[in-house]
Amino acid sequence: MIVVLSKNISPRAKELIHSYLKDRGFSVREQSLGDDTIIGASGKGAVDTRELSILPGVERVAAASKPYELASRETRAEDTVVTVGGASTPAVKIGGSRITVIAGPCAVESREQIMETAAMIRESGAVILRGGAYKPRTSPYSFQGLGMEGLEYMKAAGEACGMPIVTEVVSPELALQMKDLTDMFQIGARNMQNFELLKRVGSLGKPVLLKRGPSSTIEEWLLSAEYLLVSGAKDVVLCERGIRSFESYTRNTLDILAIPVVKGLSHLPVIVDPSHAAGIRAMVSSAGLAAIAAGADGLSVEVHPRPDEALSDGHQSLYGVQFEKLMRDIEALAPVVGKELVRTPGKYGK
């Protein structure tokens, strides 16, 4: 059960609500959810919700039927809009009426490479720079990333081009070290159910991009988001990137229907990673446009200035001209789905 508090609630009224719930057998936790301050009540307690709803300082009571209370649309009917950046780079919003495009290489390979990529994607209108400093790879012999050095290169590239950055965190121990260098943490598909990592990242309070695991159900995905929210994260973005199926022609099977399903179940923004879903460069743009048509709030696309030389995932990374065309196509499609493309001022900016 979730109790949404009034904006002008007094400390005394808040204390009485806490006591009211504890006296009736509930464990309580207070935190922010979007613009609201909420009290989550869990346990085997019993309460008359009508009586609770008229206590001073209570705006409304939501008794969610889903196990992911904080992520559920039953708790928060309006869409959450997540803000990324705003300190050393312009703030970017994800969700609502916007289509937000995140782009960059699979991995940071050098300072020169990430600087070149950042300038290229910004010119085409991307608003957030992505790239891996730490790369969990299937083979121990594959390129694992440059670590903190790569993250420092990426931060410099983002600041130089006026874009916040998002990068994957692979362990609880690294999360604190990375906190001041990234604007948004990414939880990769392999770590979607790494619950200790989710709790640590959630406690740091930064925006989080949560990728769906390759064999995870939608409910499991939303419960992972719940771990982040209950641990203190205020801004969580869900990312569909394809699931594992019997089909082997593409890297994964993009679950297009997950987009409207999740947007019906949850207030959290949903974006799509067509690069990892397709795994084949020629199919990435089509998959991305299909995701926008299905209602996605944005895309995360792998782009590299020279994909044939990439140390990681070059076969699914777009060339600069391909990414530029994708951005033009998204801009043309956006009004059809009642949205607008958010872009940085650049060669094709407004």
- pLDDT at position 321 is 98
How much is the average pLDDT of 197-222?
97
* Same domain, yes or no: 138 and 208: yes
* Same domain, yes or no: 132 and 197: yes
Nearest to 197 by CA among 230, 174, 177, 223: 174
Q: Which of 142-146, 235-239, 284-288, 314-318 has the lowest mean pLDDT?
A: 142-146
- pLDDT(347) > 60: no
* Same domain, yes or no: 124 and 196: yes
- pLDDT(348) > 60: no
- pLDDT(45) > 90: no
CB contact at 8 A, 308 and 281: no
pLDDT averaged over the chain?
A: 93
In sequence order, the 6+-apart residues with CB closer than 8 A to the CB of 118 are 104, 129, 157, 158, 160, 161, 163
Continuous segment of H or E residues that includes residue 59:
strand 58-62
* Same domain, yes or no: 204 and 303: yes
Q: Residue 70 falls within a domain, yes or no?
A: no
CB contact at 8 A, 186 and 166: yes
Q: Which domain holds residue 220?
A: 82-341
* Same domain, yes or no: 55 and 87: no
- pLDDT at position 343 is 79
Instruction: State how many domains the chain has.
Output: 2
**pTM of the predicted protein model:** 0.88
Q: pLDDT tens across 188-203, in order?
A: 999 999 999 999 999 9
- pLDDT at position 39 is 87
- Which pLDDT band holds residue 44 (cuts at 50, 70, 90)? confident
Among the candidates 62, 95, 113, a domain finishes at 62
* Same domain, yes or no: 183 and 317: yes
Q: Residue 347 falls within a domain, yes or no?
A: no
- pLDDT(141) > 80: no
* Same domain, yes or no: 288 and 171: yes
Q: Which of 106-115, 130-139, 161-170, 267-276 has the lowest mean pLDDT?
A: 130-139
CATH code for the domain in which residue 90 is found: 3.20.20.70
Q: Residue 67 falls within a domain, yes or no?
A: no
Q: Which of 100-104, 142-146, 183-187 has the lowest mean pLDDT?
A: 142-146
Residue type, 229: L
Query: What is the residue whose two structure tokens read 């995932």?
Result: 313
- pLDDT at position 345 is 59
